[in-house]
């Protein structure tokens, strides 16, 4: 009651027009439930959708507790904002991996530090950034009908405009069981444009103009799901805040080929075009999955990445990163006005895949796994990437210790 | 020292690979300077770029103090992240409108609640969301060279891909004084594609495929700046977090025509295409500036907008909003599968411009300016927008009071 009063007061200060653009801040009211064996059924029954954060045990660790507090705040803000949603009741809950073993087991929670979304009879895992904005945006997508009916040229253009995710499109005369899951058209002209036969479903990898016809029509739902699961590691994929940890965990032999390119920058755009061309050529290769990161999506990480990898992210970069120790090696591009050709990039990727280019081969490298001290790792990075700019380094930076 | 130690400890918990994607949190160290008449010169001399938040006096108001604390935290996080930047030193400072009158005067700070960025001999005003992410991203753009040299077809495609901002492009044989400010090409083939004569500069409004040739070549710098300032209110513009307040303040006769469309949704994309078409037809009209809001950019505001405007943002919407009292009226679109044609939209906009459609005309409307109570305004909105969904409304909602 008290917290609410404060909010009303705060709103009084602003005029209506300004309020329309005021990004909400947490009002202090508790909305996130701590789920226990006793209350979880009652709580979950109250909501159409339940968002559960399955978190680590906190115990005595001060930092872990502080971390959880920040995460809880993000969930509280999300819950507060979604309170205003008119057509769905969305609840939020916490399950502690140690204290609430029974609840976790009953709900089928498996991966700690993940968020599980219970909607209808489905459970969707969220393994992205724990920030209110990102989570709330993801929830809108969860609520939304994933199927679009493509009726005209403009809608078709809109369909082609979605390049960052896997998409399926079919040509059906009647709504059948599959049309619950797949964007489709009933118009033969559109089907012709999509090069679809009746009852056929096409599969588009991210960033690919040409689809693959899923073999074996007519399909059952299970057959389609199998096909998608078999093909869910695309040749080129974008790191997105709402699925970043999930994507990052899906490395290939402990490594990621990472490309940094800012789409809204002409050089970044140019590099991305070359990248798509190379991906198109290699789309049949199951051992290749290039991770594209647009620095614009992760502004707070840019200086840290520049420092760790010893690269300048104001122009495009491509490299190989060892996911365990963050060692990395980057393609040399001498001049941002002079991008590699698709062919040069293809050869470079080939050399990565056969192991000729390897982040762990870097000669000045000591391969120590001791990661307790930030300093030693920082030096390791620095040694690899001595830059001209180092000339004017700060006094508080650590000297290299050559061992 | 103590704060630093905690951070090092925290990093020890994570493995390197995970750390690469860990969005930084504030480490507790003070980096933002409180500028006073005594220290401001010394502080500002220490940095290449200085970011100054010119804030309201806090005084006794509890909410204002709380608000400033949250804003300071955002600035602290931005300062912390940018500490790692290798090629620029960026400093942050606070100036209190009441306590630091002299400093504000000397630095030329005018608009309270704005952020001023001092770089070289320029002062750039930031009037966007006060969040670390948005501000840091904006600062990267400030640092970056705004000029691109367009050498090939792919770079040209990258240039055309930038549709959301005003852009200028010229054709110069030599680097001249203008080439410091304007993207340009030296290649005659590219110039032909751009339909440019030598020494000519073209002006592109946001979302317009066809440029306007700036008359009177060869130009002086001042002539170009004058031209841009005269034409800086485009027919269609996007609300962006880094300039949202500035854009919102630039209303036309106290109103905004607001279009909600999610670009990554096929329906939203379709509507946006129609919108661009209509904007193209009306580009000569100085009284028309449609504000496009992509709900994806403001996830935390979506439920609040839906409630205030009484609309459903899961499909496209266009309406007129009174910026003073947030009254609004929205175009009827009965079915999301059935968008208005460009012609229908054009007629609707025409009616708005001549005042036939006016948010303040809404018959069940009481035009009271009393905005102290949240409740009464909420009801006002509700009355205008009775929805079917209201059937299952919560108990704690307020009953309509028909007065």
Element (H, E) at A51: strand A49-55
- Residue A196 and residue A217: Cα distance in Å, rounded? 12
List the single residue in B with minimal CA-CA distance to A151.
B337
Among residues B194, B209, B230, the one where a domain terminates is: B230
Lowest pLDDT segment from A258-262, B35-39, B57-61? B57-61
Q: Are residues B213 and B263 in the same domain?
A: no
Q: Are residues B210 and B240 in the same domain?
A: no
pLDDT, one tens digit per residue, over A185-219 is: 888 888 888 889 988 999 999 999 999 999 998 88
* The pair of three-digit structure tokens given for residue B215, joined into one six-digit string: 């008359």
Q: Are residues B243 and B346 in the same domain?
A: yes
User: Mapping DSSP to helix (H, G, I), strand (E, B) and coil, where does residue B118 land?
Assistant: strand
**CB within 8 Å of A316: residues ≥ 6 apart:** A259, A260, A261, A262, A267, A268, A270, A271, A272, A333, A336, A339
User: Which of B19, B248, B300 lies closest to A24 in CB terms?
Assistant: B300
Are the Cβ atoms of A300 and B77 closer than 8 angstroms? yes
pLDDT above 90 as % of chain B: 63
How close B309 gets to chain A, by Cα (Å)?
Answer: 10
DSSP codes joined into one string, B357-394: S-GGG-TT-------S-HHHHHHHHHHHT--GGGGG--
Is a pLDDT exceeding 50 seen at residue A172?
yes
Are the Cβ atoms of B86 and A23 closer than 8 angstroms? no
Q: pLDDT grade, residue B44 (50/70/90)?
A: very high
Residues in chain A: 403
Q: pLDDT grade, residue A62 (50/70/90)?
A: confident
Among residues B180, B210, B230, the one where a domain terminates is: B230
Is a pLDDT exceeding 60 seen at residue A265?
yes
Q: Are residues B192 and B299 in the same domain?
A: no
pLDDT at B192: 86
Among residues B311, B337, B353, the one where a domain terminates is: B353
C-alpha count within 13 angstroms, C-beta hemisphere, residue B155: 20
Are the Cβ atoms of B86 and A270 closer than 8 angstroms? no
To test the contact with chain B by mutation, choose from A6, A299, A338 the residue with the greatest count of B C-beta atoms within 10 A, namely A299
pLDDT, one tens digit per residue, over A223-236 is: 999 999 999 899 99
Write down the mean pLDDT value for chain A: 84
Domain-located, residue B370? no
CB A123 within 8 A of CB A51: no
Q: pLDDT grade, residue A179 (50/70/90)?
A: low
Picking from A340, A349, A348, A351, the residue whose alpha carbon sits closest to that of residue A274 is: A340
Are the Cβ atoms of A303 and B387 closer than 8 angstroms? no
Q: Are residues B155 and B198 in the same domain?
A: yes
Q: A177: domain range?
A: 5-14+148-230
Domain-located, residue A44? yes
The CB density around residue A389, as the number of other CB atoms within 10 Å, is 10
The CB density around residue B252, as the number of other CB atoms within 10 Å, is 15
Is a pLDDT exceeding 90 seen at residue A310?
yes
Chain B residues with CB-CB distance to A7 below 8 A = 374
Domain-located, residue B40? yes
- Establish if B129 touches chain A: CB-CB under 8 angstroms: yes
User: How many structural domains does chain B have?
Assistant: 3
Q: Are residues B226 and B258 in the same domain?
A: no
* pTM, full prediction: 0.86
With both helix axes pointing from N to C terminus, report the angle between B2-13 and A374-384 in degrees, rounded to the nearest 10.
Answer: 80
- Residue B300 and residue A176: Cα distance in Å, rounded? 36
Q: Are residues B336 and B249 in the same domain?
A: yes
CA distances from B294 to A242, A264, A390 (A): 18, 17, 42
- Residue B100 and residue B57: Cα distance in Å, rounded? 10
* The pair of three-digit structure tokens given for residue B89, joined into one six-digit string: 């030193």
Is a pLDDT exceeding 70 seen at residue B229?
yes
pLDDT at B386: 41
User: Which of A23, A70, A270 lies closest to B25 in CB terms?
Assistant: A70
pLDDT, one tens digit per residue, over B167-184 is: 999 998 877 667 667 787
Is a pLDDT exceeding 60 seen at residue A49?
yes
Residues in chain B: 403
Are the Cβ atoms of A314 and B64 closer than 8 angstroms? no
Domain-located, residue B171? yes
- Establish if B305 touches chain A: CB-CB under 8 angstroms: yes
pLDDT at A1: 33
- The domain that holds A222 is classified in CATH as 3.40.30.10
Chain B residues with CB-CB distance to A129 below 8 A = 23
Domain-located, residue A395? no
**CB within 8 Å of A63: residues ≥ 6 apart:** B6, B9, B10, B13
Instruction: Compare B5 and A137 and report the one with higher pLDDT.
Output: A137
Picking from A368, A372, A390, the residue whose alpha carbon sits closest to that of residue A307 is: A390
Q: Are residues B98 and B187 in the same domain?
A: no
Give me the residues of B, 70-89, that contact A with CB < 8 A.
Answer: 70, 77, 81-87
Are the Cβ atoms of A148 and B267 closer than 8 angstroms? yes
Chain A residues with CB-CB distance to B389 below 8 A = 86-87
pLDDT at A339: 87
- Establish if B262 touches chain A: CB-CB under 8 angstroms: no
């Amino acid at each position: 009651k008290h917290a609410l009063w404060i909010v009303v007061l705060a709103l009084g200060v602003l005029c209506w027009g300004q309020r329309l653009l005021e990004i909400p801040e947490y009002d202090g009211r508790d909305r996130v439930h701590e789920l226990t064996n006793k209350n979880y059924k009652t709580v979950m029954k109250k909501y159409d959708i339940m968002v559960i954060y399955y978190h680590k045990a906190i115990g005595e660790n001060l930092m872990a507790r502080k971390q959880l507090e920040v995460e809880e705040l993000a969930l509280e803000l999300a819950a507060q904002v979604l309170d205003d949603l008119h057509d769905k009741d969305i609840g939020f809950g916490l399950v502690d991996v140690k204290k609430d073993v029974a609840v976790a087991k009953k709900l089928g929670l498996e991966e700690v530090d993940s968020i599980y979304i219970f909607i209808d009879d489905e459970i969707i895992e969220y393994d992205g950034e724990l920030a209110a904005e990102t989570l709330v945006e993801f929830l809108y997508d969860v609520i939304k009908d994933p199927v679009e009916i493509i009726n005209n040229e403009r809608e078709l253009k809109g369909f082609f405009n979605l390049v960052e995710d896997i998409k399926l499109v079919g040509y059906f005369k009647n709504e059948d069981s599959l049309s619950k899951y797949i964007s489709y058209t009933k118009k033969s002209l559109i089907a012709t444009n999509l090069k679809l036969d009746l009852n056929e479903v096409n599969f588009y990898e991210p960033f690919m103009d040409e689809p693959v016809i899923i073999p074996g029509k007519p399909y059952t739902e299970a057959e389609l799901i199998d096909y998608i699961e078999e093909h869910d590691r695309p040749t080129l994929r974008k790191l997105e805040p709402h699925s970043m940890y999930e994507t990052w965990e899906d490395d290939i032999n402990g490594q990621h080929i990472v490309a940094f390119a800012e789409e809204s920058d002409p050089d970044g755009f140019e590099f991305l075009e070359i990248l798509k061309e190379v991906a198109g050529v290699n789309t049949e290769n199951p051992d290749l999955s290039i991770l594209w990161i647009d620095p614009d999506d992760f502004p707070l990480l840019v200086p840290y990445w520049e420092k760790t990898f010893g690269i300048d992210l104001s122009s495009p970069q491509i490299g190989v990163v060892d996911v365990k120790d963050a060692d990395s090696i980057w393609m040399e591009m001498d001049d941002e006005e002079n991008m590699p050709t698709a062919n040069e990039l293809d050869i470079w990727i080939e050399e990565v895949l056969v192991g000729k280019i390897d982040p762990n081969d870097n000669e000045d490298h000591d391969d120590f796994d001791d990661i307790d001290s930030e300093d030693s790792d920082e030096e390791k990075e620095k040694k690899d990437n001595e830059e001209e700019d180092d000339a004017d380094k700060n006094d508080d930076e650590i000297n290299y210790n050559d061992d």
